[in-house]
Amino acid sequence: MAVPKSKISRMKRGFRRSTDALKKPSYAMDKDSGECYRPHHINLKTGMYNGRQVLNIDEDDV
């Protein structure tokens, strides 16, 4: 059985567990349409990423 060599203090345990908390996802506003989107993700409605057109979106598919 694994036995810890020394006691982990409350502070060190808290540092380790601090990343376990759920955080709200961040959103950015689109300058043209005003819609919210996730940063560093392609906007699937418009096909834009970082101010460039990276996907060709057909109006028939939407």
At a CB cut-off of 8 Å and minimum separation 6, what does 46 contact?
30, 32, 33, 57
What percentage of the chain carries pLDDT values higher than 70? 95
Query: In this predicted model, what pLDDT tens digit does every residue of 9-32 receive, in sequence order?
Result: 999 999 999 988 888 889 988 877
Name the one residue in this structure whose structure tokens are 């950015």: 28
Q: pTM of the prediction? A: 0.49
